[in-house]
Structure 1
Amino acid sequence: MDAPAPDVDETLRALRAHRHDLVADFSAAVPRARAAVLTRLWGALWREDIVATSRLGGAPPPLFGPAVARVVADSVTHDDPGALAAALGLAPQLVRELDNSVANLALAMTAPPSPGGTLADAEQSIVDGHPLHPCCRTRIGMSTLDVLAYAPEHHPTVALRLVDVDPARWRTSGRPVPPRLPIHPWQLPRALATGLVRDAGVDVPARPLMSLRTLQPIGTHWAGLHLKTAVEVQMTSAVRTLSAPAVHNGPPASQLVAELSRRTPGIHVLRELSAGTVLDAAGEPQRALGAMWRQAPPAGATVVPLALLPQRPDLLTPGFFGQLVDLMVPPLLRLLELGVALEAHGQNTLVEIADGRPVRLHYRDLGGIHVHEGRLRRAGFEMPPLIGALPTGDEDALRTKLVAAAFTTVLYSLVAALGNERLWDLVAAAARASVGPADAAALFGPEWPLKATAAMRLAADPLTDRWCRVPNPIQR
């Protein structure tokens, strides 16, 4: 049986049966949600070589341009992204994901804003999800009621359950942790059904952050920590479990980047302190039975993800943008020169604010970085024992990882939100002053890379990175 992926009609049926108070607001939000997802899909069709552009009407849309309610393809007008994808002959699975994205985005639009000022409040206030991915709000595997119960935009507090693990089947990295695993409540029945863990009967209240499966636990025992859990739910591009390389790499990658960041003032690494996973009878780590213990930002500081800034005009002013560029661009480019490319997109990168000014960056989630051994050694550092996709000897792959996330996604989105192309001069100045000679040509060339998210969903291996190119606004 297929995993649940409610579309608009199925979501409406669930709301009428269980949450009639949301029916009117949900129905009113559907056209806006369709336009938001349609805009992301339309941009991807133009950029990612998915169909011949001769089939697409009009002109290529700008990156982070305004939402479009209707588009023309093959001389037919469309206002629904799933219907457009079907008409173009794209895979039925993508159509299903687009329909689910629309339904969940419209549902998110019914949620009231979070009233508090904590990091969790800020993260739970982000409604739109990924700014460019057409599947920005997919939660394949979750029902409508699951989404209301667990998705951060609906402001829940959830009960993580601790389960005991046979010490002989417990594998950890980083600081030792006892064989007791925090399990997301959605994942709990699936975890217990494996027979590899035992219910300890202990709940940990926690608030989900932007990624849903990463949570801020509540209680003094968990102070200063965030927990990254495994859930067998497809969100945007992947099922959010923890691979063996992720469990292995987190602590040593954290230690490396923290050490390098001492040469790059302004950026603080939220270390992945420990990770744990359960082994099956054959000794194989189980992706769906794992967790990561990560440092939280400092208590009492005002910290928000960069993804929040486009919806906060009270914070995002031209002056704030200039200060953020000066804070952000030099350390990221210096780390690149030393051999580490951070995937510094709007979810992974947080900004600490004091007196209305950005004063420090915090970076989290080391699972998507690239590390170049040759650059590290030239800088006097040893390559830690990393496995999987993190190590790379490809200079282009290294640069692409950083530029696509930090420049083509974050900075592009902020300039678009401010509506002032002259702000690119600030980015160019900071980049000129900071970029190493080996990376200057890529940073100032005619185009920048951007992840081809829709093409990846249609590929035989959807987890392999694919890239498209967009005009570089700071090219020389």
Structure 2
Amino acid sequence: MHLNPPPATGPDEAEDVAARADAHAIAPLLNCFLREVAEPLPGPDEWRVHRLPGSGRLLRVRGARRPAEPQVRVAGAWQRVDHAELVKLVADELRRHTGVSNHELPAEMTDSRDTVAALLTARARATPPDDPYLRSEQSLLTGHPYHPAPKARGGGPVAGWLPYAPEAHARFPLTLLGVREDTVVEEGDTSALDAVGDAPPGYRLLPAHPWQLDLVDLAPAFADGRLIRLGTTGCDAWPTAAIRTLHLPEHDLFLKFSLDVRITNDIRRLWRHDLLKLRRTDAAATAAFATGHAAWLSDRGYRTAHFAFEELAVLVRDGLRGHLLPGATALLAAGLAEGFTGSPLDGADDPAAWWEAYLAQVVPPVLTAFAEHGVVLEAHLQNTLVAFDTDGMPVQALFRDAEGVKLLPDVERAAGWERLVYCLVVNHLAEIAAALAERHPALDPWPAVRRELARHDLPEIAGLLAAPALPGKTNLLLRWTNADGADARYLPLPNPLAGP
């Protein structure tokens, strides 16, 4: 792989990395803690003051979108707390608030912060990709802005995961395995896999993520010949923001692997039940994008071995070239929200026109898929790519991940709509709107969102524009109570759309 090892650091540099890692880790932890648990109090504009209901303590922070500098009121004075102290505070409050103990999540919070420190150190000596698309995918040092441990890597040693970290600008060859033909399980179009290497007679080619191979025990299958090693790919794969989904530019292909590591809410395996329904959900999403210039990156099929169905599964996803408008450059929406060198959001000379163009590309395909095809896209920041012309204006949206797609009537319409609103409006548009407003404080982004939504003839739109609240996912409470990662629970958030 092409990543220089983290260099030795002096005291000043180590202190700087520690402070920056704390800042990156504190912001999302505070975001979800303040959203889900704390009670806001009136106070001066420069500080946001909250009462913690479990203990009655007062907590104040600076900033709104990315809160910082947390302080707790102790003996009549405000005391600054660092990330480690904040983890202890949050854990104590959650025990009081829920009546439930959890020893895993505090460790994940610490792991997430330590991961950021390792990434900052490695990133200082790594070379960012020239391709702006890959640069956007590998830009997420903070990650999910409303998760208590967005960068946790399973608590393993740094040497085990750093070579595969997108945030450190990693790229690496895939391991090639041969799977004995009588043990192969596949569905859909997996022919693209056969182009990345060669398998001997009696075997089928199966690319594997080298990190996953370090995590699972396949020794019996290698011993009896069900699996053989065939070297590595002749080209590098680039990890995207999803970590286990890799981009192979030379083959114009994405491959998604199982990864037996908890990342945000879930162990990131390709679960059997999801794979078995993949063809149906992907076909429905493909049909929903059959017209118009928005694109769906199809999950064409999967290949695996029946003796390690989930562990070795690899999913084949469309590349970009066959979908992008000529001359356009695709970028990850989450990268726009967090920021990266060359982001067109930074160069928007007319932010109102830029924002209206963005909404015109992103919103209609999601609503049309729901209204006309019963397809509930998971159109959050990490599943949405937005393509820009040479002037930096949004001209196309591309969506991905059939695993996250829900279909009506498999889910009730009201539940599907709630999920759509959370993913599209709360997770996605609100973050881009806030990032744009930070750069252009005179811009109110929400009237344009209201206008775009009002253009669509869906019975739910009027209610959305008048509702006092939007659904906010409770990632902190979900993890603290060990709920299933797919079991989304929401709390009401003030609705910025509810205007005249």
Q: Do they superpose with TM above 0.5? A: yes
Partner residue, 1:472: 495
Partner residue, 2:27: 39
Return the match for 1:260 from 288, 291, 313: 288
Partner residue, 2:106: 95
Q: TM-score, normalised by structure 2?
A: 0.79
| Cα distance change of structure 1 residues 446 and 238 upon mapping to structure 2, 3 Å threshold | same
8 Å contact kept, 1:36–1:67: no
Structure 2: runs of 5 or more not aligned:
39-51, 96-100, 195-203
Partner residue, 1:209: 240
Return the match for 1:182 from 199, 207, 212: 207
Partner residue, 1:303: 330
My pick for the range that moved more, 75-84 or 294-303, is 75-84
| Cα distance change of structure 1 residues 41 and 23 upon mapping to structure 2, 3 Å threshold | same
8 Å contact kept, 1:352–1:361: yes
1:454 aligns with 2:476: yes
C-alpha distance in 1 between matches for 2:157 and 2:55: 38
Superposed displacement of residue 74, structure 1? 8.3
In structure 2, the residue corresponding to 1:287 is in which secondary structure? coil
C-alpha distance in 2 between matches for 1:118 and 1:202: 30
In structure 1, the residue corresponding to 2:211 is in which secondary structure? coil
C-alpha distance in 1 between matches for 2:7 and 2:259: 25
| Cα distance change of structure 1 residues 246 and 61 upon mapping to structure 2, 3 Å threshold | farther
After TM superposition, the structure 1 = structure 2 runs for residues 118-197 of structure 1, keeping only pairs within 5 Å, are: 118-177=132-191, 179-189=204-214, 190=216, 192-193=218-219, 195=221, 197=226
Superposed displacement of residue 275, structure 1? 0.9
After TM superposition, the structure 1 = structure 2 runs for residues 332-351 of structure 1, keeping only pairs within 5 Å, are: 332-338=366-372, 339-351=374-386
Q: Deviations over 1:173-223 (max 9, x none)?
A: 21255743221111224253352751332312311111111111254xxx2
Letter in 2 for 1:109: L
1:320 aligns with 2:346: no
After TM superposition, the structure 1 = structure 2 runs for residues 43-442 of structure 1, keeping only pairs within 5 Å, are: 43-49=31-37, 52=53, 55=56, 57=58, 65-72=65-72, 77=79, 78-80=81-83, 81-88=86-93, 89=95, 91-110=102-121, 111-112=123-124, 114-177=128-191, 179-189=204-214, 190=216, 192-193=218-219, 195=221, 197-204=226-233, 205-217=236-248, 219=250, 223-263=251-291, 265-280=292-307, 286-298=309-321, 301-310=328-337, 311=339, 312=343, 313-315=345-347, 317-338=351-372, 339-355=374-390, 356-373=392-409, 391-392=410-411, 394-419=412-437, 420=441, 422-442=444-464
C-alpha distance in 1 between matches for 2:74 and 2:34: 14
Superposed displacement of residue 435, structure 1? 4.6
In structure 2, the residue corresponding to 1:460 is in which secondary structure? coil
| Cα distance change of structure 1 residues 82 and 54 upon mapping to structure 2, 3 Å threshold | closer
Superposed displacement of residue 53, structure 1? 6.6
Structure 1: runs of 5 or more not aligned:
1-14, 374-390
Q: TM-score, normalised by structure 1?
A: 0.83
Superposed displacement of residue 237, structure 1? 1.2
Q: Deviations over 1:102-157 (max 9, x none)?
A: 11123333414725124223211332211221211111153212332110011122
Letter in 1 for 2:300: L
C-alpha distance in 2 between matches for 1:293 and 1:434: 33
My pick for the range that moved more, 349-358 or 242-251, is 242-251
Superposed displacement of residue 315, structure 1? 4.3
**Percent identity (aligned):** 25
My pick for the range that moved more, 417-426 or 207-216, is 417-426
C-alpha distance in 2 between matches for 1:79 and 1:430: 42
C-alpha distance in 2 between matches for 1:259 and 1:49: 42
8 Å contact kept, 2:6–2:118: no
Q: Deviations over 1:401-430 (max 9, x none)?
A: 211111101111112112246110000000
Q: Deviations over 1:314-373 (max 9, x none)?
A: 345443222101111122112121211111111110011112111111111111121103
| Cα distance change of structure 1 residues 430 and 348 upon mapping to structure 2, 3 Å threshold | same
8 Å contact kept, 2:328–2:395: no
My pick for the range that moved more, 244-253 or 301-310, is 244-253
C-alpha distance in 1 between matches for 2:172 and 2:56: 46
C-alpha distance in 2 between matches for 1:443 and 1:108: 41
Superposed displacement of residue 294, structure 1? 0.2
Superposed displacement of residue 396, structure 1? 2.2
Kindly report structure 1 stretches of 4+ aligned residues shifted beyond 6 Å: 59-62, 73-76
C-alpha distance in 1 between matches for 2:11 and 2:255: 33
C-alpha distance in 1 between matches for 2:379 and 2:155: 28
